[in-house]
Chains A and B, each alone.
Chain A
Amino acid sequence: MRSIIAQVAMTHFGLFAVVFTPLLVLLLMPFARLRPLAVRLTPYTALPALVLSLSVREDFTLHVSWLLLGTDVGIDLVARVFMFFSAWVWLAAGFFARRYVKGLLRHRFFLFYLVALSGNLGVIIAQDIVTFLLFFSMMSLASYALIVHRQNAEAIRAARVYITLVILGEMVLFAGAVLAYHVTGTITLAAMTDALTGAAQRDLVMLLFFVGFGIKAGLVPLHIWLPLAHPAAPTPASAVLSAAMIKAGFLGWLRFLPVGKVGLPTWGLWCVILGLIAAFYGVLFGLPQKNPKAILAYSSISQMGFLTLILGMGMASPATWPLALTALLIYAMHHALAKGALFLSVGVSLEGMAQRWQRVLLGLGLIIPALALAGAPWTSGAIAKGALKQALYETEALQGDWLIWLISFGAVGTSLLMARFLYVLWPRHFRASASVEPALWVPWALVVVSVVLVPWLTPWPELRHAALAASQASLVWSSLWPVALAAALAYAFYHWRLASPYRLAFNPPAGDLVVPVVGLLSLLLRSSQAFRAVVFRKWQTLVDRSARLLQGPGAYAQIVNRLEAMLTNWTSGGFWVVLLGVLVFVALWLAS
């Protein structure tokens, strides 16, 4: 009995520690002398979450009635997995940033870093609509500061596009949340999705949530902020943005949509289609990019497409949902770790390496996560794709070889993208004097190692079994050929220099759709301004004129003055007296 109480107390305390540890460190920030301390503590603030995700075995929820509109927080398998990889990436990125982010704005960066961290972890434990949205917006808004950090034109533009979409997303989510509460009468997520399954306005609610979280999750065509923001942000920020935060959008889908509770074949099909579109779209637009981080950003869009696809499978047939969910968690974790490692490697590579052995290690550290992402055999990518395919075989609503083929071609695309990334970033020119400090490469190396090890050592039995099964079931061949094909293609491109004619024909800017959209918006704004100016001027003249009528000089004033002069003219007095007398008499006469 006592142990249960102790454990409950521990977990409750742990839940709050997850969210409030970063905020507690934040409290040091107002005091100039404590700021260095706060920065030093920042990476560790992700630790409670890491510990909690690994230590708590039981699912539980906690209801706090007096907070907000009634708050539910809790932890389950989804939360554990998300919390684990998020916290891990945040932890590594935190250590990395401590060394990487310098200059005047260092403290500001960490201030918002802490807020975003708290928000990201809060999203994971939130179990009711309002709490979720609260942490979600906390994370989204704080990330603005991370993106705009460099304050050059590129960063400012990226941040502006980002914040616009964030706010749009917030509003769509607000509408969805209000509607959902109206339809279901509850704000607890589990109960809400249960009730939503049979509700009249289910599809509208789902659409609002889908679009709202889709913005964060980089759903094409709502992805436009992503390829702008990731390159603009400092490297550790890009890492957490791409590894952890876009997953929070995905988590929104998991939490808010009634996936696995009812069959939604149409929704499932659309998700699969959208996912595939995103998977190829990311490759298509990612390949021509020159900035390594832009390539990674497009890769994220592409990979989120695969996640959307798995979600679609779960939607299509609830029976496969447990399997699909497992695949999804594995995939999400795999992508987070690999993408985190890749982003951090951009930071490390650009610093330069003096020694040859360092260069070899760096090359290895670049290749491993790239291969993992591409889905080469025996990597986390292969396991994830294997789990994906396993779930797909069980999905009756989506049978057909075409899907398998498309997914495999998607893998080819991913591999090509990785090849392009390696080509762009490959260590060629090194300054002899430069050397990477341990503070930078140790966290990066830790993430790289985790990419290799974690899939085989997942701490949660449910996932471990699935992962092992997937790794055995997936034929080595099926994961090998896309990578091999891509490698061959890449070599061909490199050898015969095929890239330049291709690039001449197709050279989209990062953020592709942003340009026309922004142009349209600014046109609208300018025209409304012009319209307003005209209306205002007209109105002002009208008001001024009517005010002058009463007091100022003018034709009206002359009339009034002359009339009064006539009235008060001494000689006219008699006339008025007589006239009035007659009038009164007539009036009396008329009256009777």
Chain B
Amino acid sequence: MTLTQLPWAVWCIMAPLLLAAACFVLGKRWGPLAGWLSAPLVAGVSSMLVWQVIEHGPQRYELGGWGAPLGIALRADGLSALMIAMTSAIVLIVSFYAHSYFQPAHGLTRHGDADDLAHRRQYFWPLWLLMWASMHALFLSNDLFNIYVTLEILGISSVALVSLAGGVALTAGMRYLFVTLTGSLFYLLGVALLYSAFGVLDLDLLGARVEAGPVVWAAFALMTVGLLLKTALFPLHFWLPSAHANAPAPVSALLSALVVKASFFLLVRLWLVVFGPLDALEWARLLGMLGSVAIIWGSIQALRQVRLKLLVAYSTVAQIGYLFVVFPLVAMGAPSAWPGGIYFVVSHAFAKAAMFLCAGTIARALGHDRIDMFHGVGKRHPVVIFAFGLAGISLMGLPPSGGYIAKWMLLSAAIETEQWVFMVVIHAGGLLAAAYVFRVLQHAFSSLPCVSPAQGEVPRAMELAPFVLAVIAILLGLAAPYPLMLMEIGDPFALATPAQGQP
């Protein structure tokens, strides 16, 4: 069996799962090291899958050799390959950060005792790998029930990771648990309704059979709400700021960058493959409206926050809004909004991960993250502030960044379909993003002396990791054709195109 013929998709899921188990088994002493070392390994496996998709087109695996509807199918087209590439890249970089983050450093000993830290370190890596595995599985599954399983694993591992911080995070984690379970439950109800109606769980088969009717509507409504809850679209964002802001920095980064995107990805897949024929224009408009409100409201809230991590969390609330603006654009006859939306997911992921890591580093350096006491940080940690700025550029949608390309495509679509409201909202969101990003940056440029006492050395990796992520967010703007080409392998959006011909 040559490299090309190996089922890399399966390994993408299996490798992190196995390594998670290994970490768990290895325990306190060797577990963390193993976890840290396994990150490049998993990333390597994922890159092989991406390479395979690029070289040989979309892949489909029948696990155990059984075909649908009986067996479980994995499918890796360009879209999932891109998602996996994004996930792996971010998790890999954040892993380096996390490794330093959980190292005992002087200064930290004042806060928690070494035992507590070791304890956290021990459980962090298995959960981390588990989350990784579940995300890969979610992106690759082609089966509604399988997806439910991955959703649950993803939710639970996330909750566990949030709670690792202890203290306030425990309450936030509890709420998060409740939300994620509710979301999955709604989804599961939808799946049950569909299965009872059509008797299949495979996405493609279902897409071929599904017909409009109350049952489908109800199922779709349930699944939508469940996924919206997980994605934290306004007004269902109530859990997000506290959960994301209280988690440990690397966890916040992943939650904001990837986990909320997973449920969004699912929604896109459902819409593309299963519900597309429903031609649900009103549904799309509803989501678009909520997305618009989210953009404005999240930005305003971000502008008002006192703490940096909360600011970044609310920024996520706002940025998620952009993703949902894609639906009405597509529904009104601009399928070109799809690549724009997906590109937004990718660039936002890198930028937001970078921002949360920056926030973590600053919090570590100053012992707090109050924005109005940031004077002089820029002088002490220029790299971090620079990274924050670069990531901010992508959030604002300014060139040359991934956010710019995505915004360009979304705006093109809005103008093409003459949806002026969305056009205005997309623009206003960019300007508000500039407002809150520069609200932070200007403190870094202030000449006032730094009032916070230094908390000791910040590890180099904690400065470099956000920087690398931010640079990637920028480079996404300069190398846009490649990701765009990758996501169109296997033509995942083709099903959406018939809308063009119809009114």
**Contact between A and B in the complex (any CB pair below 8 Å):** yes
B236 lies within 8 A of A580 (CB): yes
Which chain B positions have C-beta within 8 A of A592? 212, 217, 278-280
B304 lies within 8 A of A561 (CB): yes
B300 lies within 8 A of A550 (CB): yes
Interface mask (A542-569 → B, CB under 8 Å = 1, otherwise 0): 0000000011000001001100100111
Q: Which 9 A-B pairs have the closest CB atoms?
A: A587-B282, A585-B221, A584-B221, A588-B217, A568-B238, A581-B225, A591-B282, A587-B283, A591-B280
Which chain B positions have C-beta within 8 A of A557? 304
Interface mask (B226-250 → A, CB under 8 Å = 1, otherwise 0): 0011000011111101100000000
> At the interface with chain B, which of A232-240, A242-250, A313-321, A570-578?
A570-578
A576 lies within 8 A of B236 (CB): yes
Which chain A positions have C-beta within 8 A of B439? 551
**Shortest Cβ gap from B4 to chain A (Å):** 43
Residue of B nearest to A563 (CB): B297
Q: A588-B220, A588-B282, A588-B283 are in contact. Are A567 and B238 (CB under 8 A)?
A: yes
Which chain B positions have C-beta within 8 A of A561? 304
**21 examples of A-B residue contacts, CB within 8 angstroms:** A551-B303, A561-B304, A568-B238, A569-B238, A576-B235, A577-B229, A582-B221, A584-B220, A584-B224, A584-B225, A585-B218, A587-B280, A587-B282, A587-B285, A587-B286, A588-B280, A590-B282, A591-B278, A591-B280, A591-B283, A592-B212
Which chain A positions have C-beta within 8 A of B186? 577, 581
Residue of A nearest to B228 (CB): A580
Residue of B nearest to A557 (CB): B304
Which chain A positions have C-beta within 8 A of B435? 550
**Shortest Cβ gap from B422 to chain A (Å):** 17
A572 lies within 8 A of B278 (CB): no
A585 to B224, CA, bound (A): 10
Interface mask (B163-204 → A, CB under 8 Å = 1, otherwise 0): 000000000000100010010001000000000000000000
A570 to B304, CA, bound (A): 21
A564 to B299, CA, bound (A): 12
A577 lies within 8 A of B238 (CB): no
A588 to B220, CA, bound (A): 9
Interface size class of B (residues with CB under 8 A): 35 or more
A432 to B446, CA, bound (A): 75
Specify the main secondary structure of chain B where it touches its partner. helix
Which chain B positions have C-beta within 8 A of A588? 216-217, 220-221, 278, 280, 282-283
Interface size class of A (residues with CB under 8 A): 20 to 34
Residue of A nearest to B432 (CB): A550
A26 to B411, CA, bound (A): 64
Contact of A583 with B by CB under 8 A:
yes
Contact of B448 with A by CB under 8 A:
no
Which chain B positions have C-beta within 8 A of A590? 282
B238 lies within 8 A of A581 (CB): no
Which chain B positions have C-beta within 8 A of A550? 300, 303, 435
Interface mask (B285-299 → A, CB under 8 Å = 1, otherwise 0): 110000000000100
Contact of B82 with A by CB under 8 A:
no
Interface mask (A101-137 → B, CB under 8 Å = 1, otherwise 0): 0000000000000000000000000000000000000
Contact of B222 with A by CB under 8 A:
yes
Contact of B301 with A by CB under 8 A:
yes
Which chain B positions have C-beta within 8 A of A584? 220-221, 224-225, 283, 286
A580 to B293, CA, bound (A): 14
A568 lies within 8 A of B241 (CB): yes
Which chain B positions have C-beta within 8 A of A583? 286
A584 to B216, CA, bound (A): 12
Partner of A581, one of B221, B283, B285: B221
Residue of B nearest to A592 (CB): B212
Inter-chain contact count A-B, CB under 8 Å? 85
**Shortest Cβ gap from A116 to chain B (Å):** 49
Given contacts A569-B238, A576-B238, 7 further A-B contacts (CB under 8 A): A580-B236, A582-B221, A584-B221, A587-B282, A587-B283, A591-B278, A592-B280
A591 lies within 8 A of B279 (CB): yes
A590 to B222, CA, bound (A): 17
A570 lies within 8 A of B280 (CB): no
Which chain B positions have C-beta within 8 A of A31? none
Which chain A positions have C-beta within 8 A of B236? 573, 576-577, 580
B217 lies within 8 A of A585 (CB): yes
**Shortest Cβ gap from B184 to chain A (Å):** 13
Specify the main secondary structure of chain A where it touches its partner. helix
Residue of B nearest to A584 (CB): B221
Residue of A nearest to B238 (CB): A568
Partner of A577, one of B225, B237, B304: B225
B235 lies within 8 A of A567 (CB): yes
Residue of B nearest to A576 (CB): B235
A590 to B280, CA, bound (A): 9
A592 to B281, CA, bound (A): 9
**Shortest Cβ gap from A576 to chain B (Å):** 5
Contact of A402 with B by CB under 8 A:
no
A564 to B298, CA, bound (A): 10
A585 to B175, CA, bound (A): 26
A572 to B175, CA, bound (A): 13
Which chain A positions have C-beta within 8 A of B279? 591-592
Contact of A589 with B by CB under 8 A:
yes
B283 lies within 8 A of A573 (CB): no
A582 to B282, CA, bound (A): 13
Partner of B225, one of A551, A572, A580, A591: A580
B221 lies within 8 A of A591 (CB): no
A568 to B238, CA, bound (A): 4
Which chain B positions have C-beta within 8 A of A572? 238
A592 to B279, CA, bound (A): 8
A564 to B317, CA, bound (A): 12
A425 to B304, CA, bound (A): 82
A588 to B241, CA, bound (A): 30
**Shortest Cβ gap from A48 to chain B (Å):** 60
**Shortest Cβ gap from A359 to chain B (Å):** 74
**Shortest Cβ gap from A5 to chain B (Å):** 65
Which of A569, A573, A583, A584: most chain B CB closer than 10 A? A584
Q: A551-B304, A584-B220 are in contact. Are A591 and B238 (CB under 8 A)?
A: no
A557 to B304, CA, bound (A): 9
A590 to B279, CA, bound (A): 11
**Shortest Cβ gap from A548 to chain B (Å):** 12
**Shortest Cβ gap from B149 to chain A (Å):** 22
Which chain A positions have C-beta within 8 A of B281? 591
A577 lies within 8 A of B182 (CB): yes
**Shortest Cβ gap from A200 to chain B (Å):** 50
**Shortest Cβ gap from B348 to chain A (Å):** 22
A585 to B212, CA, bound (A): 12
B280 lies within 8 A of A573 (CB): no
Residue of B nearest to A590 (CB): B282
Which of B220, B280, B297, B303: most chain A CB closer than 10 A? B280
Which of B179, B224, B241: most chain A CB closer than 10 A? B224
A573 to B439, CA, bound (A): 30
A568 to B186, CA, bound (A): 20
A580 to B294, CA, bound (A): 14
B175 lies within 8 A of A570 (CB): yes
**Shortest Cβ gap from A273 to chain B (Å):** 67
A42 to B280, CA, bound (A): 93
A560 to B301, CA, bound (A): 8
Q: A587-B282, A588-B278, A588-B283 are in contact. Are A573 and B238 (CB under 8 A)?
A: yes
Which chain B positions have C-beta within 8 A of A582? 221
A582 to B186, CA, bound (A): 13
Which chain B positions have C-beta within 8 A of A591? 278-283
A560 lies within 8 A of B304 (CB): yes
Which chain A positions have C-beta within 8 A of B280? 587-588, 591-592
A580 to B225, CA, bound (A): 7
**Shortest Cβ gap from B53 to chain A (Å):** 33
Residue of A nearest to B314 (CB): A564
Which chain A positions have C-beta within 8 A of B237? 567-568
A589 to B215, CA, bound (A): 11
**Shortest Cβ gap from A154 to chain B (Å):** 49
Residue of A nearest to B242 (CB): A568
